[in-house]
Amino acid sequence: MSADDQLSRATLPRLAPELRPAVDPAELRTRIVHFGLGAFHRAHQAVYTEHAAARSGEPWGITAVAPRSAGTVRALRSQDCLYSLTERRPDGHRTRVVGSVVGALAMGPDAGAVDALLADPEVTVVTLTVTEKGYHRSPATGGLDTTAGPVAADLAAAPDGPLTTVVGRLATGLAARMRAGAPPVDVVSCDNMADNGAALARVVHDFVRASAWPDRAEILDRMAGAVTFPAAVVDRIVPATGEADRAAAVAALGVQDALAVTGEPYRQWVLEDSFAAPRPPWELDGALFVPDVAPYQLTKLRLLNGSHSALAHLGEVAGLTTIAGTMAADWGERLVRALCAEVSPTLPADGPDPVAYADDLVVRFRNPAMHHLLRQIGSDASLKITERWLPALRELRARGASTPVLELALAAWAHGTRRAAAPPSDPAAEALAACWRSADRPVETVRALLRVLGAGDLADDDALTTAVADRFPALDAGRVDI
Ligand code: CS2
């Protein structure tokens, strides 16, 4: 492949005008640093930022940092950080190039450049999509798990040694910013966790507190006044890009695009209105700024992500592979509606209407143009279901409400933990598989699995563990009985 066949600033003029970015990337500067260079960021925050820059004329550009994948960084740089986004609608699709990413760095090899940007007064916003496991939270305390291998290694190595955790790199960079007396900065978690702003603030502060830096108390003091962590709810279904998606992008663009992404038409971003430093006017592209994101966050986590995980684990039991395929099973839509109805009494009354929300979910999940693999949603389940199912389960059981749908979902998840896949699709895969040593005593197995999740209270709920274990025989036979 020659450079002539590849998407880049040089080949951009060859594209039809409707395929070109909404902004001229040459006019943007790095004012946002983003950690996590995955498809979700490219199809969500990068799009809002591009439109905000285009509509305001302000030069908001993003330098995206890949925590691990140096390959993605190389590929992105070779395309001058341009890539295409294809919106997949039930009745067709629409492709265009996104122009808001202006730099790409690999967190390890480019650590100096990452730190320099974090201390740069021009950079006033940092965003993150590093998935739940990127936060290294202790299930027991919610704080930083300083005993986790990578965290302990980073604490010993910071500030000058090689760091592998985003929390370590971010804390180190922010500390350097505080030492340099640079202006305030907003740090926005865009991961699917309740109270994600506070969760991120906690692990970053914990890292500084546990460091050996002689000035750590002053750093924490300065951070209290100069670094805010607004909470945010992000929403767009973005399946991992497959070969067919890349081929479709080439067909639409007429040039190669190794970083093509696809997404559903729907997108939403709700942010806590507590920014201390300049930020892009994302509201120009429909983002909502609200005093408290909790009603949106809990509704999204428990209804959308909760049903996604339930569809993923039950669909796998039934031998299915995609969300749209699972929605076509005779129980798919029923599962989504039943889960939403079961969980909705736990949602704040001032949030979105749960019945209308469930109606929308059914339409979004059924979108036949989306090839969203159950395997992708089922990965890292020990961290996901802890956010999506367990808090609602606890609340409902404390009120004496019955929880048949969550029990069924939990049984399907438990069923899938029996054998750790290779490569493992969950950081706790081995510990979970080990719980099946007492497979002849299924209730014991369920208890042990819940303990691995840090849910000792639920493990001690005999009615729950028995109800979950009672579901195993039907699931063994590949049957989903709702
Ligand atoms: C999904 C989410 O992979 C998953 O676990 O549930 O990525 C989901 O598609 C997004 O949160 C939708 O906004």
pLDDT tens string 436-448: 998 799 999 999 9
* Token code pair at residue 376: 């992708």
Which atom number of ligand 1 is nearest to the Cα of residue 235? 13
Contact between residue 324 and residue 374 where contact means Cβ atoms under 8 Å apart: no
pTM over 0.85: yes
pLDDT average, residue stretch 54-67: 98
Q: Is any ligand 1 atom within 6 A of the Cβ of residue 307? A: no
Checking if the pLDDT of 420 tops 80, the result is: no
Q: Which of 47, 48, 305 to mutate to test the pocket of ligand 1 (most atoms within 8 A of CB)?
A: 305
Cβ–ligand 1 distance for 346 under 6 Å, the answer no
Is residue 403's pLDDT more than 70?
yes
Q: How far apart, in whole angstroms, are the C-alpha atoms of residue 118 and residue 227?
A: 12
Average pLDDT of the residues in 449-462: 97
Q: Work out the average pLDDT over 306-323.
A: 98
Q: Is the peptide bond preceding residue 159 cis, with omega within 30 degrees of 0?
A: yes
SS3 readout for 121-160: CCCCEEEECCCHHHHCECCCCCCECCCCHHHHHHHHHCCC
**For the chain, domain boundaries:** 3-290, 294-476
CATH number of 294-476: 1.10.1040.10
Domain range 3-290, CATH architecture = 3-Layer(aba) Sandwich (3.40)
pLDDT at position 422 is 73
Categorize the per-residue pLDDT at 306 as very low, low, confident or very high, splitting at 50, 70 and 90. very high
Q: Determine contact, residues 407/379, Cβ cutoff 8 Å.
A: no
**Which one has a higher pLDDT value, 1 or 192?**
192
What is the per-residue pLDDT across 201-260, written as a single tens digit (0 to 9) for each? 999 999 999 999 999 999 999 999 999 999 999 999 999 999 999 999 999 999 999 999
The closest-lying atom of ligand 1 relative to the alpha carbon of residue 376 is 3
Place of tokens 């986004």: 85
Task: Render pLDDT for 269-293 as a digit per residue (tens, 0 to 9).
Answer: 999 999 999 999 999 999 999 999 9
Interval 318-334 mean pLDDT: 98
Confidence of residue 421 (pLDDT cuts 50, 70, 90): confident
User: How far, in Å, CA of 472 to CA of 479, rounded?
Assistant: 10
Number of other CB atoms surrounding residue 225 within 10 Å = 10
Count Cβ neighbours within 10 Å for each residue of 250-288 and write b for 16 or more, e otherwise: bebbebbbbbbbbbbeebebbbbeebbbbbbbbbebebe
Ligand 1 pocket residue status of 96, Cβ below 6 Å: no
User: Nearest CA to 322 among 330, 333, 311?
Assistant: 311
What sign for the dihedral angle of Cα 190, 417, 441, 434? negative
Q: At what angle do helices 166-180 and 196-210 cross, to 10 degrees?
A: 70
What is the per-residue pLDDT for 1?
59
Q: Closest Cα to atom 8, ligand 1: which residue?
A: 237
pLDDT at 423: 75
- Give the ligand 1 atom nearest the CA of 305: 6
